[in-house]
């Protein structure tokens, strides 16, 4: 099954698009540790531009990461080769290799690239290639999700073709044409007449007729049941949910769960973030950290997706999340105002905590004799 064929199955298309665009939608930040030990955006570094604006000539940042995740899911692997400016030795571009142009030598731990589309060819050491792997059985190369879901995806494609045929045939089904009385001595003549009758019936069914007159002694026997009798929709619903399980996507995200309510939708969002999206984001962060940061700076530099928008998908949840993080002293008022692209306010950089919260030392001091008289 080629790469384009699985995407013809609507559930596969939706799952791949949801996962790839969910990753691409999050800002990827390159952070450095400042003098206070806090990680802040390193906007002066070339990597900041490559990760947030344009990794390479054909792509903006969104399309680049969307394509990378699609390759990882559908092919099992996505390969990104950093290219360096010979004068400054800074990274000048991040090349996302075209599908099928990279081979990996596990014995020598090196990659061979033959990618004329991106004007890139040669042999690269393992540490020179950012390798995003899907689920791996050997830790070296990833396996496409469709390899595991092949049978289910094939069933879905067969179902799609059957549905198309049913619509094309006006919803009619196949059958047998026979004669309930056999006339001896006229077998060949009788068979010819039956063939002609069958061809005539088929032509009328193909034209969309629902009721057709059957001549004389001819008997029409239906071979297959109608869509309703076969419970065809139920079998397709099962296939949709099977594909969703392989991709780690709740059926409501592919618009399949008609019984969905707000509470179950909220739980589905949490499960998607925790069990599906977060591991994928962490995988990318770890690989970028390992391949683009020298060991001497591994504790002072960091790649991190900004996940804050994921924790609050609607306006009410967003305001509630911001209020709670401010009240807990995790973020300041101005921290959130900067996220919302609003100017800072006086006193907004001071961390706030609830007046009901007290430290253990303060409670011990209050319990000491004479503390109440002070």
Residue 230: the pLDDT is 43
CB atoms within 10 A of CB 111: 20
Exposure b/e, 186-208, CB count within 10 A at least 16 = b: eeeebeeeeeebbeebbeebeee
* Cα atoms found within 13 Å of the Cα of residue 311, Cβ hemisphere only: 12
- Angle among Cα 344, 350, 354 to the nearest 5 degrees reads 125
CB atoms within 10 A of CB 153: 24
Q: Which residue has the tokens 């596990």?
A: 106
Inter-helix orientation angle 10-24/150-168, to 10°: 120
Q: Please, which residues have CB within 8 angstroms of residue 206's CB and are 6 or more apart in sequence?
A: 169, 170
Q: Is 181 helix (H, G, I), strand (E, B) or coil?
A: coil
Residue 197: the pLDDT is 67
Residue 155: the pLDDT is 60
Which letter does DSSP use for residue 309 in this model? G
Rg (CA), the chain: 31
Sign of the alpha-carbon dihedral angle for 238, 244, 249, 254: negative
CA distances from 32 to 19, 29, 48, 335 (A): 28, 10, 11, 18
pLDDT digits 0-9 by tens, 270-326: 788 889 999 999 999 999 999 999 999 989 999 999 887 776 666 677 788 888 888
Q: Is 66 helix (H, G, I), strand (E, B) or coil?
A: helix
Residue 356: the pLDDT is 67
* Cα atoms found within 13 Å of the Cα of residue 88, Cβ hemisphere only: 8
131 and 79 in contact (C-beta within 8 Å)?
yes
User: Can you say how many angstroms the Cα of residue 134 is from the centroid of all Cα atoms in its chain?
Assistant: 12
Which residues of the chain fall below pLDDT 50? Answer: 1, 170-173, 176-177, 183-187, 189, 220, 223-233
Residue 199: the pLDDT is 73
Residue 223: the pLDDT is 42
CA distances from 300 to 52, 291, 293, 294 (A): 20, 15, 9, 10
Q: Name the nearest CA neighbour of 291 among 59, 27, 81.
A: 81
84 and 92 in contact (C-beta within 8 Å)?
yes
Task: Round to whole Å and give the CA distance between 32 and 222.
Answer: 72
pTM (2 decimals)?
A: 0.70
Residue 228: the pLDDT is 45
Residue 30: the pLDDT is 94
Q: What are phi and psi of 32, to 5 degrees?
A: -130, 155
Residue 337: the pLDDT is 87
Residue 351: the pLDDT is 84
Residue 112: the pLDDT is 96
Q: What is the DSSP string of 10-58?
A: HHHHHHHHHHHHHHHTSPEEEEEE-TTS-EEE-TTSHHHHHHHT-SBTT
Residue 185: the pLDDT is 40
Two structure tokens written together for 263 = 């509470």
Residue 24: the pLDDT is 95
Residue 329: the pLDDT is 82
CB atoms within 10 A of CB 139: 8
């Amino acid at each position: 099954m080629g790469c384009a064929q699985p995407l013809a199955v609507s559930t596969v298309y939706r799952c791949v698009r949801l996962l790839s665009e969910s990753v691409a939608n999050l800002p990827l930040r390159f952070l450095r540790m400042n003098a206070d030990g806090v990680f802040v955006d390193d906007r002066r570094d070339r990597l900041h531009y490559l990760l947030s604006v344009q990794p390479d000539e054909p792509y903006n940042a969104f399309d680049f990461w969307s394509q990378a995740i699609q390759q990882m899911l559908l092919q099992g692997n996505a390969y990104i080769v950093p290219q360096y400016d010979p004068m400054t030795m800074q990274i000048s571009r991040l090349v996302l290799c075209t599908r099928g142009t990279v081979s990996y030598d596990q014995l020598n731990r090196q990659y061979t690239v033959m990618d004329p589309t991106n004007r890139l060819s040669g042999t690269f050491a393992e540490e020179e290639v950012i390798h995003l792997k899907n689920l791996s059985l050997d830790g070296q190369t990833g396996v496409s999700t469709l390899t595991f879901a092949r049978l289910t995806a094939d069933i879905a494609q067969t179902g799609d073709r059957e549905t198309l045929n049913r619509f094309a045939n006006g919803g009619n089904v196949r059958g047998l044409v026979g004669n309930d009385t056999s006339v001896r001595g006229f077998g060949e003549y009788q068979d010819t007449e039956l063939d002609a009758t069958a061809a005539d019936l088929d032509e009328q069914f193909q034209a969309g007729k629902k009721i057709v007159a059957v001549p004389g002694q001819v008997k029409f026997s239906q071979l297959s049941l109608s869509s309703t009798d076969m419970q065809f929709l139920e079998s397709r619903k099962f296939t949709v949910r099977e594909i969703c399980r392989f991709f780690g996507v709740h059926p409501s995200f592919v618009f399949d769960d008609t019984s969905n309510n707000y509470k179950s939708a909220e739980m589905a969002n949490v499960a998607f973030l925790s069990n599906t999206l977060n591991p994928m984001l962490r995988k990318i962060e770890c690989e970028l950290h390992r391949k683009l940061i020298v060991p001497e700076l591994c504790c002072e530099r960091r790649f991190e997706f900004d996940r804050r928008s994921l924790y609050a998908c609607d306006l009410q949840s967003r305001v509630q999340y911001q209020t709670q993080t401010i009240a807990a002293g995790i973020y300041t008022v101005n921290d959130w105002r900067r996220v919302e692209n609003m100017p800072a306010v006086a006193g907004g950089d001071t961390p706030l905590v609830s007046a009901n919260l007290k430290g253990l030392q303060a409670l011990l001091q209050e319990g000491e004799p004479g503390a109440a008289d002070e």
